[in-house]
Structure formats: C-alpha cells, structure tokens
Amino acid sequence: MPSKVPEGQERGWIVPIGGAENKENDRHILERFVRVSGGEQADIVVIPTASRMNETGPRYERLFRDLGALRVTVMDFDTRRDCQEPGRLERLGVATGIFFTGGNQLRLSTLLGGTPVAKLVRSRNANGVTVGGTSAGASILSEHMIAFGDEGSSVISGSVRLAPGLGLTNRFIIDQHFRQRDRLGRLMTALAYNPFAVGIGLDEDTAAFIAPDETIHVEGSGGVTIVDGADVSYSSMDSINEGQPVCMLGLRLHVLVAGATFNLHSRVADASALQRPKE
C-alpha cells in the first residue's frame, strides 16, 4: 500500500516516462526530472536493475550530471540480499530523486518487491522525494503493474496479466511505449478488472509529471492517453470466458499533449494552456 504522507508535508513528484526519451538534443524530460529533484542541489540515485546491459546505469549517471545534478549514484541490485544492505539504504535515505531505468519490470518486482528498499522508496516519496522511471521503470511505480499482455485495441478477457508494483500510489495503472506498440486494448483490459484506477498510456519520449496535488503535467513529444473508468456502468468481465471480447460501457478517454493536464483526484482534464493565443 502507498506510504502515508506525514501531516504538514507533501508527497514527492511521481514521474513515469514512456521509454525512448530524448537523451541527445531536446532533453526536456530528463531536465525537468532534475529540476523537480532539486535542480542544482539534486542528489539522484539511478537504479538500473531492470536492465541487463552494463552501460545503462553509467549512461544515466552521465546524463544527469551533464544536466546539472549535484550528485548522481548508480545503485544496482543483483539479489534480494542486496536490498537489505545498510549502506545502500543509507544512500537512498538522503537522495532527493530516485530513477528506475528501463528493461524488464518483472526483474524489478521479483528483486525489489517486499524488501526494505521497496519500503524505503515508498516512504521517501511520501516524504517529498521525486521518484521516476522510464519504460519498465515507469510500470513498476504504481500498486498494480502490467506484467505483460497482448497488443491490439480490443478488450479481451485474460489478455493482460497484472503483478504488484512498488505501490507509490494506487490511483493509476501505467502502460508504456503506448502508441508505438498498440497497447490501448491491454490497458483497457487491465481497467476492466477494477475501474477504480485511472489508466495512463505513455507514448515514447513522453512523461507524466504527477505533482503532489495529483495533477498530471505532460512533457515530451508524444501523447498521454488517459482511460478513466469512474463512470463505467457495465462490464461483462465477470461473465465471459478467457479469450472472449469484453463489453464495457461508460469509459472516458482523453489524449493529452505537452501543456495539457489531468487531475487524478477530480478526474478533470484541462487543455486551457493550449488554447491561449500565442504572442
């Protein structure tokens, strides 16, 4: 479950990124991550555990340093025992930003799930620390994580499998590489199990910067697809066999681009910033 925000404090930013964020020229997403992690005083821990490529962690370390972070540390976890080491927990305990790289989200959940590291990341976010991730590192952030599923736009019973994530919040379910890999169907199928959460589909090079007040601010070159099941009046999920199409009535869908917002508490989308006349 998400950690409780202490009285008088604000939760930190949550920053899921759809993968393939620009790392060369227009690095707006990573620049903004550094900014909301403390700017010139940012102290960032990069966790490349989802990736099996040795260069992943050092690459993000260089990127965040180039973007002005004061200190950047790469902290990989090869075993669950690593997640109990006091030195690693102490280092995470002073970070102002925690970033999970892409790779395999099940590698993250099986290595980190239920460990002191997972508990500390939730607690740090509840106490104001920014936590973000790209691709698999985005999927792991919520309480309910899409482990794998079928591509396509149809809602099909059994076409998606969920697993417990880190649990920073239970308000949304993330899917990444969204438009590029045709994942609308599997996100809607995940919501058909329980429409309480909001589905957030992130295109590549696109991020949802989720502020302490639960407002999503879009950054990047693509779109963020919001699937809101709050007004679902009917779902056939409970009465059909696996592999059959699901009937769902009352889903609401929004597509946001940079400048648009969506509030996870009120479930209101706003594009007024896009409608202002250009000077």
Does 204 participate in catalysis according to the annotation?
yes
Q: Judge whether 169 and 197 are in contact, CB under 8 Å.
A: no
Catalytic residue among 177, 217, 219, 235: 177
- Residue type present at position 168: L
Query: What one-character DSSP code corresponds to residue 5?
Result: P
Q: Is 242 left (phi over 0), alpha (psi -120 to 50) or beta?
A: beta
Residue 237 main-chain phi, psi, to 5 deg: -55, -35
Catalytic residue among 109, 135, 139, 235: 135
d(CA 102, CA 188): 23
d(CA 66, CA 58): 12
d(CA 56, CA 58): 6
Query: What one-character DSSP code corresponds to residue 159?
Result: S
- Residue type present at position 8: G
Written as six digits, the tokens of 184 are 């609308």
Does 28 participate in catalysis according to the annotation?
no
Written as six digits, the tokens of 87 are 């030195």
Map residue 103 onto helix, strand or coil. Answer: coil
- Residue type present at position 50: A
Q: Judge whether 33 and 63 are in contact, CB under 8 Å.
A: no
Does 266 participate in catalysis according to the annotation?
no
CA distances, 34 to each of 51, 256, 258 (Å): 21, 23, 18
Catalytic residue among 21, 143, 204, 214: 204
**Which residues are identified as catalytic?**
135, 177, 204
